């Protein structure tokens, strides 16, 4: 799809919240790395399901339950196709990306790691792809190492090469940084891991990439991918762990209870096949169906077109921000990033900047963005972050620039 066929006004018309005003100004929602807005197609899919087909899944021998089960499993199949996963059984529904990563840490990690083994993460990770590995390392007596980040916000891949050896059992890496926007070379990282640490499994935090970039899990070649529905036009409360089925089949359950068992007696139980083995209890049925609708929506717009639109916006935003005095952008140049930018405005705390922008109807994020170690590595305090998605426009970037100038005029003394 060419960018000419990408009609941002038509896309905005799909998102009811775009008519919302904040302090009398149309909302300019630039906090998409935290969570995305929802198109009516997703809202209607969930509403229709609640009104016409709702029941619990995988249980009842009745029409509604059969319809609910079919819709739930169809959502799984559409999500598998969306990431080019060969087998939908590898798509495990979780609450969010955080729970997906915890599933790997608790299930695969505790079964396969022992004292003396090593876990390699990066200094670029969101806390969700760092703290579970800290906990795992502590509980099994493994060593936790990290790949440092260069001052430009890139991974120091030479250091990865130095860290990899046969003791490494797990490598966890984000695909796109939620702070500096860097797109990490997952294929290259996987290739190095396979060559130097063949027993190691690779976990990719895809929470910032799958919403924006056409993803082919087979080409990328990692073992596990974690992502959240709410960042990709889907509802909250639903996320995905995609794992290669042959790995998932050998893993012990994470949470236990109903739905995930084959047989139970008073003393013990045996496990259901995947994916049910990892979906204990009544799942987020409606949210899974909502995520299925989100995947359909994104596919209809076209992931190539969404990526191209984000690339245009980030390039334009970085050009405009570079014209502003006192603005320092964090991370690599626009060519190397996804559609987000963290920055500092000299003399203005990011909270104050965000507050003044809010008065202009502009939503950005301020703080550490759940990645405090990365801020420490880059030697910066809290930052302001603008993150874009398919419905954002150049006009909104212009409003951001205007808002920053306004904050400067309110909060700084120009003598």
Partner 1 sequence: MTNLYREHILDHYRNPRNQGVLERADLSAQLDNPTCGDVVRLDIQLGEEKEEKRVQAARFSGQGCVISMAAASMLTEWLTGKTLTEMAALRDEDMLAMVGAPLGAVRSKCALLPLRTLQAALKQLPTT
Catalytic positions, please? 370
Give the H or E element holding residue 262: strand 261-264
Nearer of residues 112 and 349 to partner 1, judged by Cβ: 349
Give the H or E element holding residue 39: none
Instruction: Give dist(CA 260, CA 233) in Å, integer.
Output: 28
Residues 379-408 that bind partner 1 (CB under 8 A): 381-382
Instruction: Give dist(CA 127, CA 140) in Å, integer.
Output: 20
- Which pair of tokens denotes residue 113? 């790691």
Query: Which x/- pattern over 162-191 shows residues binding partner 1 (rule: CB under 8 A)?
Result: ------------------------------
Nearer of residues 272 and 364 to partner 1, judged by Cβ: 364
Stretch that binds partner 1, among 181-189, 272-280, 316-324, 343-351 (CB under 8 A): 343-351
Using CB under 8 A, which of 152, 246, 355, 394 touches partner 1?
355
Using CB under 8 A, which of 153, 283, 350, 373 touches partner 1?
350
- Residues with Cβ < 8 Å from 95, sequence gap 6 or more? 237, 238, 239, 284
Count CB atoms within 10 A of the CB of residue 189: 25
Please report whether residue 411 would count as binding partner 1 according to CB under 8 A: yes
Nearer of residues 301 and 362 to partner 1, judged by Cβ: 362
Count CB atoms within 10 A of the CB of residue 167: 15
Nearer of residues 257 and 381 to partner 1, judged by Cβ: 381
CB of 399 to partner 1, least distance (A): 15
Using CB under 8 A, which of 366, 377, 397, 400 touches partner 1?
366
Residues 3-42 that bind partner 1 (CB under 8 A): 23
Instruction: Give dist(CA 353, CA 405) in Å, integer.
Output: 10
* Secondary structure letter of residue 344 according to DSSP: E
Please report whether residue 415 would count as binding partner 1 according to CB under 8 A: no
Nearer of residues 268 and 413 to partner 1, judged by Cβ: 413
Torsion of CA 341, 208, 118, 111, to 10 degrees: 160
Give the H or E element holding residue 205: strand 201-205
Give the footprint of partner 1 on this chain (CB under 8 A): 23, 349-352, 355-356, 358-359, 366-368, 372, 381-382, 410-411, 413
């Amino acid at each position: 799809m060419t960018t000419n066929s990408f009609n941002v006004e038509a896309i905005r018309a799909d998102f009811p919240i775009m008519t919302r005003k904040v302090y009398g100004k149309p909302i300019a929602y630039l906090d998409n790395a935290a969570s995305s807005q929802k198109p009516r197609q997703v809202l209607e899919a969930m509403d229709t399901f609640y009104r016409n087909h709702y029941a619990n899944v995988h249980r009842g021998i009745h029409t509604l339950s059969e319809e609910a089960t079919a819709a739930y499993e169809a959502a799984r199949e559409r999500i598998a196709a969306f990431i080019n996963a060969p087998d939908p059984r590898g798509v495990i529904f979780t609450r969010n990306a955080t729970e997906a990563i915890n599933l790997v840490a608790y299930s695969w990690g505790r079964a396969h790691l022992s004292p003396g083994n090593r876990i390699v993460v990066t200094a670029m990770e969101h806390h969700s792809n760092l703290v579970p590995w800290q906990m795992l390392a502590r509980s099994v007596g493994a060593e936790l190492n990290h790949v440092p980040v260069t001052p430009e916000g890139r991974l120091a891949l030479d250091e990865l090469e130095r860290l990899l050896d046969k003791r490494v059992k797990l490598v966890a890496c984000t695909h796109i940084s939620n702070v500096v926007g860097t797109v990490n070379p997952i294929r290259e990282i996987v290739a190095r891991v396979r060559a130097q640490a063949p027993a190691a499994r690779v976990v990719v935090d895809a929470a910032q990439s799958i919403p924006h970039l056409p993803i082919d899990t087979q080409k990328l070649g990692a073992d596990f991918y974690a992502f959240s529905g709410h960042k990709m036009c889907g509802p909250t409360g639903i996320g995905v762990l995609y794992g290669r089925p042959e790995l998932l089949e050998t893993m012990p359950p994470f949470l236990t209870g109903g739905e995930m068992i084959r047989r139970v007696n008073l003393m013990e139980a045996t496990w259901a096949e995947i994916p049910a083995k990892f979906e204990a209890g009544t799942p987020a049925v409606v949210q899974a169906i909502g995520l299925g609708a989100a995947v359909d929506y994104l596919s209809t717009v076209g992931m190539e077109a969404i990526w191209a639109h984000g690339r245009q916006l980030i390039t334009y935003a970085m050009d405009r921000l570079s014209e502003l005095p006192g603005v320092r952008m964090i991370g690599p140049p626009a060519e190397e990033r996804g559609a987000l930018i963290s920055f500092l405005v000299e003399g203005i705390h990011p909270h104050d900047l965000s507050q003044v922008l809010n008065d202009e109807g502009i939503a950005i994020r301020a703080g550490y963005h759940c990645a405090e170690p990365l801020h420490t590595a880059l030697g910066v305090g809290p930052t302001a972050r603008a993150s874009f998605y398919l419905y954002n426009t150049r006009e909104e970037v212009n409003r951001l620039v205007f808002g920053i100038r306004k904050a400067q005029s309110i909060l700084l003394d120009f003598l």
